[in-house]
């Protein structure tokens, strides 16, 4: 069986394992995804990065993580 997954871009987020607020940070990032899904959109939406990068950057100012954007 074959499945074709559309090409898309992804946030690749790295948080140090020993970072004390890692769970809190992941929860906030998950809230961004949940809010986006409530709009009827998914990570495969062509504008996913543009729609959410400002929110991710705002969290980056609060929590210690890095991210890159990769095309899959």
Specify whether the CB–CB gap between 67 and 10 falls below 8 A.
no
The structure tokens listed for 70 are 């990769």
pLDDT category, 7, cuts 50, 70, 90? confident
Q: Among 63, 69, 64, 65, which residue's Cα sits nearest to residue 51? A: 69
Please name every residue paired with 13 in a beta bridge, in sequence order, or none if there are none. 67
Domains of the chain: total:
1
Q: Please report whether residue 2 resides in a domain.
A: no
**pLDDT tens digits, residue range 34-68?**
999 999 999 888 899 999 999 999 999 999 999 99
Q: Please report whether residue 17 resides in a domain.
A: no
Mean pLDDT of the chain: 94
The structure tokens listed for 17 are 């394992």
- pTM listed for this prediction: 0.87
The helix or strand, by DSSP H or E, that contains position 36, with its residue range, turns out to be helix 22-38
Region 20-33: mean pLDDT is 97
pLDDT category, 4, cuts 50, 70, 90? confident
Q: Please report whether residue 47 resides in a domain.
A: yes
Q: Please report whether residue 62 resides in a domain.
A: yes
**Range of 61's domain?**
39-72
């Amino acid at each position: 069986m074959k499945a074709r997954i559309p090409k898309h871009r992804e946030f690749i987020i790295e948080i140090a394992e020993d970072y004390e607020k890692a769970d809190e940070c992941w929860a906030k990032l998950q809230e961004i995804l949940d809010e986006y899904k409530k709009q009827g959109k998914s990570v495969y939406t062509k504008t996913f990065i543009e729609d959410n990068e400002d929110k991710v950057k705002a969290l980056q100012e609060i929590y210690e993580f890095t991210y890159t954007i990769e095309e899959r």
